[in-house]
Structure 1
Amino acid sequence: MVPLALVVAVFLAYSVPPYLTLDPARSRVPAPAGFAAHYWFLVVHIAFGTVAIVGVILQIWPWLRRTHPVVHRRVGRVYVFAGAIPSAVMAATIGAVSPFGPVVAALDVVAALLWLGFTIAGWRAVRQRRFADHRKWMIRSFAMCMNTLMSRALSPLGFLLVLPRGGDKDNMILSAATVSGALSILTLLLLSQWWLDRKPKTPASAR
């Protein structure tokens, strides 16, 4: 938990501050033509996304789940309704008009819809007291909540993969963004499924 929390803290410390000033000139994402409200949709997405990523870290913390189930439930509601759902809706909206090309736009929308769908499925499962299904869906929701972080982490690999092809700088940036975006979604889906399918070792005390 500690390494994961540190990675998330570094990611937020780098990503969030430029948007605290509410100055569109400091945005790291260029606004697409014909969508004047893009920046404000982006700010809302980041605000709710910050709530989501902090909340989901608390949700997967085993100690908190075991010792404070009431806190776990309350943080879960915050994660779902004040984090994941509104942030995913905003992500799908701004992703559809991504200035980084149609492929990146499609990847952004797919990632947002997966996050939205997994989260709603997890919430419905716990409301129906299907706790095993709730755990599975929320692990997948956690995975897609990490998509932006993972895509940034894979950006250097994306550049390494497109570098041999050459070309101008702008095309290389678009190609690297496409590669890292696709790898991020696939990696997170595969890792979450591996985590669900794995067979943990029985503790020595239980044996």
Structure 2
Amino acid sequence: MTSTLTAPPPTPPTHRAQVWWRRTWIVPLMMAAVAFLAFSVPPYLTFDPAHSCLEPPPGNDLYYPLLVVHVLCGTIAMSTACFQVWPAFRARHRRGHRITGRIYVFAGVLPAGVLGLYIGWYTSAGPSVRVANLVGSALWLIVTIAAFRMARQRRYDEHRRWMSRSFALAMSIALSRVINIPAMIILTPRVDTTFGGSEEMMQNTATSIGVWLSPLLLLLFTDWLLERRKQGARRPATNRGDNR
């Protein structure tokens, strides 16, 4: 009779602390995304190429309107991507997760990625930036389509892995702008030597460093996190097997 009145053991406090700690990254992530969009998008809303950081090719009247659409679709992608990787939102609002996921894919990544191929091909920043933009846009489309297919097939673990990679590529544009700053600082004193006095070549090189390095770093970091979580999920099962 005493055993029936015994209260169950309390939940270990470490679990709650650990879960809370893992969720704190969503706030600075959203703040960084909002800050980047608030700084980068408004110049394009004037529809004046003079305010754009990308110079339209001479004689190509289609370039700038498509660039504006690309930027707006990219804004949709970055905004909805934050909700896609937010574990609490995904767990508590599954319908909202599915809706924002479809918006991310069909109103964000697909139009932004396809237009990115066009914008990248006609860039005036040099061949290295052109190839980086083409590769980045194509890769973004591929991993996002793979993530969508995994969700349709209910292979949710694989869906999260591919969607994490898609998210990394969506955010690479923001990191590239950050990388461009130290790249410009390092390369500016070498304009007269390395670049033969061409400031334009120096700027194109700094831009190239950013657009190549940012997706590479984010994809490597994302896969490292995915592998770390995968190993962490295996440990409890292994420990339970050892205790038998």
Alignment gaps of 5+ in structure 1: none
State the Cα deviation string for residues 25-61 of structure 1 (Å, max 9, x = none): 3222100134221101100001111111000011111
1:124 to 126, 146, 149: 149
User: Does 2:140 match 1:110?
Assistant: no
Counterpart Cα distance in 2 of 1:149 and 1:116 = 18
* Alignment check: 8 A CA contact 2:73 2:109 kept: yes
Quote the Cα distance in structure 1 between the aligned partners of 2:99 and 2:76: 13
For 1:169, the equivalent position in structure 2 comes to 199
The CA deviation at 1:129 is 0.9
Name stretches of at least 5 consecutive residues in structure 2 with no aligned partner: 1-25, 193-197, 234-238, 240-244
Work out the CA distance in 2 between the residues paired with 1:155 and 1:117: 26
Q: 1:65 to 1:46 in 2, by over 3 A?
A: same
TM-superposed deviation, 1:157: 2.5
Aligned partner of 1:11 in structure 2 is 36
Identity rate of aligned residues, in percent? 41
Residue in 1 that maps onto 2:117: 92
State the structure with more CA Rg: 2
Shift of 1:161: 4.1
Q: 2:167 aligns with which of 138, 142, 162?
A: 142
Amino acid corresponding to residue 201 of structure 2 in structure 1: N
- Partners of 1:163 and 1:94 lie apart in 2 by 27
Per the alignment, residue 178 of structure 1 pairs with 208
Partner of 2:6: none
Match of 2:51 in 1: 26
Secondary structure of the corresponding residue to residue 9 of structure 1? helix
Letter of the aligned partner of 1:118 in structure 2? V
1:198 aligns to 2:228 (yes or no): yes
Q: CA deviation at 1:164?
A: 5.1
Q: Cα distance, 1:150 vs. partner?
A: 1.0
Give yes or no for contact 1:161–1:176 (8 Å, CA) kept in 2. Answer: no
Pair 1:80 & 2:110 matched: no
* Deviation string, structure 1 residues 135-159 (Cα, Å, up to 9, x no partner): 1110000000012111001112222
**2:93 alignment counterpart:** 68
Deviation, 1:189, is 1.6
Give the TM-score of the pair, scaled to structure 1: 0.92
Secondary structure of residue in 1 paired with 2:114:
helix
| TM-score normalised by structure 2 residue count | 0.79
2:178 partner letter: A
Q: CA contact under 8 A between 2:49 and 2:55: conserved in structure 1?
A: no
Greater Cα shift, 129-138 or 29-38: 29-38
